[in-house]
Structure 1
Amino acid sequence: MKLYIETLGCAMNMRDSEHMITELTTKEDYTLTEDAKEADLILINTCSVREKPERKLFSEIGQFARIKKPSAKIGICGCTASHMGEEIIKKAPSVNFVLGARNISKISEIIHKDKAVEVAIDFDDSTYVFDTVRNTGVRALLNISIGCDKKCAYCIVPHTRGKEISIPLDLIISEAKKLAESGVKELMLLGQNVNNYGVRFSTPHQSINFAGLLNKLALVDGIERIRFTSPHPLHMDDEFLEEFASNPKVCKSIHIPLQSGSSKILKSMRRGYSKEWYLNRIAKLKSLVPDVGIGTDIIVGFPGEDEEDFAHTMDVLEQVGFDTMYSFVYSPRPHTESFAWGEEGMVPKEVASNRLSILQNKHREILKHKAKKEIGNTHYVLIENIKSGEESFSEGRSDNGKLIKIPQEILKIGDIIKVQIAQSDGGSLIGQSAL
């Protein structure tokens, strides 16, 4: 039988899709296809963070219903499935089942139950052992926790993924060893708030925090690099930062969501920290790792944001000099606290859009300036991608997260190569292998 899966949203969704694919290919004899028309089972792994997710979901369902084989089943999975549940089947009779983000370990059961809905956000599969037979290449995603205890005013994730539960240490280490044996060199640890690891387990467990987990994972033979996403600024204590700095296998790049540079707006967002705390943690981090690569997320136009608040965000941008930045104009999401505020405090769209342009233009200037300063520097790059032919190149990331292209060189995927930066193209880096 043929399986087609469409994955929307974050790295967590990508990992959930990998788990469902593995379950179905090992337990139900499915093989993957990239052609939905020939599929016997079509899965849409949904995201609630996207703008107008429900409208887009039903549009997707309609498209697949028109092209699928008469006997093919359609299953809706993920975060939108979690909060809509039975409503999806009522609105789209072509859907055969609905499986929430907290229930993916049930995939091989639910495909046999027509019109079934499994969306309980208190279901615990933190101790479920998924197979790891898929070829993941040199980089792999690895869950260390599920759910989220935070109550950010704009975020629906706690309503779709439930309370935060950490995955037992022995299961994480076992999975890491299997991945290393399959050729994986770099792990990307996943959790809604990775550096809050160890706050709650569902079974008796030794006391351990995120710094301890990083220390244990560094002992796994074959794993040469460890990355993670996303840490929460509130939990960036000195122990965590010192482990980050001193552990040789932990890559010196980190994504630290800011959301806003205004303490007033951060309080309204229920983020739990201030501008001063965020900058304090960045200063501590840079004192330990001067060339650290720092990424962030920023929302502009959050309800109540005025020009002074936006100026604070610009101030943080310039002080930190983020290496990557995902930035968006605020838009309300159903089932969140800020959605219930209605039009109260809403920033006019044209004002918010203008602020976003100012923010992004400044960030592009920062990236160009930083890229020029990189010329002549050397980095150790994990080769992740190659292209042969007339415009051949190799490509990979440095330890501190910089994407570097190496023209006219076909290197071996999985090797870590010393590369000297020869030029910059806008904010991009171009180099050549160095002896």
Structure 2
Amino acid sequence: MSNKKKLYIETLGCAMNTRDTEHIIAELSSKDSYELCNEAKIADLIMINTCSVREKPVNKLFSEIGVFNKLKKDGAKIGICGCTASHLGDEIFKRAPSVSFVLGARNVSKVVEAVNTDKFLSVDIDYDESTYAFGEFRNSMNKAYVNISIGCDKQCTYCIVPHTRGDEISIPPELIIKEAKKAALSGAKEIFLLGQNVNNYGKRFSSKRDEKIDFSDLLNLISQIEEVERIRFTSPHPLHMDDKFLETFAKNPKVCKSMHMPLQSGSTHILEQMKRGYTKEWFLNRAMKLRELVPNVSISTDIIVAFPGESEKDFEDSMDVIEKVRFEQIFAFKYSARPLTKAAEFTNQIDSETGSARLKKLQDRQNEILDEIASQKSGQVLDVYFEELRNNGLVAGRSDNNALVQVEGNEELLGKTLKVKITNPRRLALYGEIVQ
């Protein structure tokens, strides 16, 4: 029987939070006597890694604290980390006295100290972890998340992230290459690069560097690791999608042919109010060039409807971009005012009913487009990298252009790239059979 203490951690939000959780687990297992468990009621330490991009996850945090406080065993601690920890700070202690420590998104390396210090608080968004060597832990042996930068230099008027993760700093390329190589040698054939604006990589490091390097250069360096078969990344910024970046994406065979292009709005006027730095015409130009360079590329996006001041014409501009680009995936949300952001102070807020109607119209049309796209997939043969067991005897993987594909099988398929013939294409997943 293990003498180690039990850690239970719940992760809310983005892929960067997922990687932060892996770092937390690695630190507590290698530098303290914790091991991961699947039940909060048996844990000695319960942690919630929070998201604050929208209001709903913030509200969920305090609900979850209440639930965990009732079911936790005597003496167990509750700790809060992540973006909501960064922006609420010691207010969390006031609203939830049962919380033992609060650790901001930029302070993950302090987790061992936090766990062992009563009412520990560290939410410094200027703290620099870009060269910190975290311990090793990954949820998947087949795919490895690798951070390439921390923070964000953009000042989008709707976004709280710069206020919770601080200014953007790039992680030195030699550390990224070392981490990617180590993961690949451990069996991770797919490397997934993470940053708030990955294609702004190389603009600022903690210390002055002689050599210049950008994101395209980094992609080429990682592709030289023999054991790496696939490279994915999120999220690039449309503003930094220059020709060099698009051509590297198109020509490098190890770079998977799926691109997340966060539109946010199809209206140039609204984009100006959001301080996104590009126009509708620029976005369409980049998307069309991408489809020209890579005919089989899949393009996903984020869209906010009912941003303050959004007129019907502004909204129809977003619908127009959907028609022209025909995104393979859209993450669409009704605008949610966030604290510390400029847009929350705007006086021309859109009423909730109008926002809901616009969101439904956009999502309904997108579902029609997805059905049209799916209907064209029947009979296609795709190279699929399998990475996850699903219910009912199915195994899931992704094609090069990020289509979710499921086949009948077992764990023997995990970590393999196989050809799959699509027999039953659906809107959200393609079902098929292995032909090799």
TM-score normalised to structure 1 length: 0.96
Contact 1:7 1:13 (C-alpha < 8 Å) held by counterparts: yes
Query: 1:205-224 to 2 correspondence within 5 Å?
Result: 205=209, 206-224=211-229
Aligned to 1:399: 400
SS at match of 1:280: helix
Give the length in aligned residue pairs. 431
CA distance in 2, matches of 1:2, 1:71: 12
Question: Which amino acid in structure 1 is aligned with residue 398 of structure 2?
Answer: R
Residue 145, structure 1, aligned to residue 149, structure 2: yes
- Dislocated runs of 4+, deviation >4 Å: 408-411
Deviation per residue, 1:371-424 (Å, 9 max, x gap): 111222221100123458xx4333211000111122468751111111222232
Structure 1 stretch 289-298 or stretch 198-207: which is displaced more?
A: 198-207
CA contact (8 A) 1:232 1:257 kept: yes
Change (3 A) 1:426 1:96: closer
Secondary structure of the corresponding residue to residue 55 of structure 2: coil
Contact 1:384–1:414 (CA<8 Å) still a contact in 2? yes
CA contact under 8 A between 1:194 and 1:232: conserved in structure 2? yes
Tell me how far apart the structure 2 counterparts of residues 53 and 318 of structure 1 sit (CA, whole Å): 31
The amino acid of 2:429's aligned partner reads S
In the alignment, the residues of structure 2 paired with residue 164 and residue 122 of structure 1 have an alpha-carbon distance, to the nearest angstrom, of 10
Taking the aligned partners of 2:385 and 2:306, their CA distance within structure 1 comes to 38
CA distance in 2, matches of 1:417, 1:410: 14
Deviation track 1:291-325 (CA, whole Å, cap 9, x = no partner) reads 10000000111111111111110110010010011
Correspondence 1:23-422 to 2 at 5 A:
23-134=27-138, 136-205=140-209, 206-341=211-346, 344-386=347-389, 391-407=392-408, 412-422=413-423
Letter in 2 for 1:39: A
Q: 1:329 is aligned with what amino acid?
A: K
Percent of residue pairs bearing the same amino acid type: 57
Deviation at 1:89, TM superposition (A): 1.4
The SS at the match of 1:12 is helix
Paired residues of 1:9 and 1:46 also in contact (CA < 8 A): yes
TM-score normalised per structure 2: 0.96
Contact 1:292 1:400 in 2 (8 A): yes
Structure 2 Cα separation of the partners of residues 271 and 333 of structure 1 = 17
Letter in 1 for 2:362: L
2:97 partner SS: coil
Look up the SS of the partner of 1:368 in the other structure: helix
SS of corresponding position for 1:346: coil
Map of 2:16 onto structure 1:
12
Indicate how the Cα distance of structure 1 residues 46 and 419 shifts in structure 2: closer, same or farther if over 3 A, else same: same
Structure 2 residue matching 1:55: 3-state secondary structure: helix
Runs of at least 5 residues in structure 2 that lack an aligned partner in the other structure? none
Secondary structure of the structure 1 residue equivalent to 2:167: coil
Write the distance in 2 (CA, Å) between the matches of 1:352 and 1:301.
Answer: 5
Deviates more, 1:228-237 or 1:102-111: 102-111
User: 1:260-292 deviations in whole A, cap 9, x for unaligned?
Assistant: 100011111111110000000011111110110
CA contact (8 A) 1:137 1:184 kept: yes
- Counterpart of 1:412 in structure 2: which amino acid? L
Structure 1 residue 220: Cα displacement: 1.0
Separation of aligned partners in 1, 2:60 and 2:428 = 33
Letter in 2 for 1:291: N
Shift of 1:99: 0.6
